[in-house]
Amino acid sequence: MKRILWVMLFASIFGISCTEEKKISHIDPVNWSNRYTTLPKNDTLLKGSSYLSIYSSIYDGTEKALHHLTATASMRNVSISDTVFLLKASYYDTQGNLIRTYFDKPIFLKPLETIEIVIDQDDKYGGTGANFIFDWAVHPNDHEPIFEAVMISTTGQQGISFTTHGIKL
């Protein structure tokens, strides 16, 4: 009887570990396809790119110990009257390798709207030097979108959080 219980316990643990998928970030938290739009062929939009640093991991104690974080990349339209367009959002790791592209068709942000991309704490692909490149377009004389990130982690009663701000390329 003991042997059967051990076999059942081993089988259940083995079965759980084999079926567990590697977790990655929420690729579609705002349903990008519902935001796709077409830019006018003869548009007067001004186009640009912005860089945003992300820390999905930071060193903890020594360079051999990593502490993993949840990162929220915030994309903000600061115009009170016009839509801005985000053309592409690409996420890169510490070595500069493309991890994933969240969207590569134009999407819109209504005036004063904010949308986010969340990098889960269990998503360790980015590392200590992860980053985003955002391509965007705005109407002439309008404000460029703002890109910010908040990184956070809590363990027990201890927590860490900090922010980064995007720069125009």
pLDDT in tens, 118-141: 999 888 899 999 999 999 999 998
Domain interval for residue 145: 23-168
Q: What element of type H or E holds 116?
A: strand 114-119
DSSP assigned state of 30: T
Q: What backbone phi and psi angles, to 5 degrees, belong to 118? A: -105, 125
Residue 162 vs residue 14, higher pLDDT: 162
Assess if residue 88 is contained within a domain: yes
Task: Specify if 118 maps to a domain.
Answer: yes
For 37-84, write each residue's pLDDT tens digit.
998 777 789 999 999 999 999 988 888 888 899 999 999 999 999 999
| Count of structural domains, the chain | 1
The answer to whether the predicted template modeling score (pTM) of the entire model surpasses 0.85 is: no
Q: Contact, 153 vs 159, CB < 8 A?
A: yes
Q: Which residue has the tokens 């030097």?
A: 129
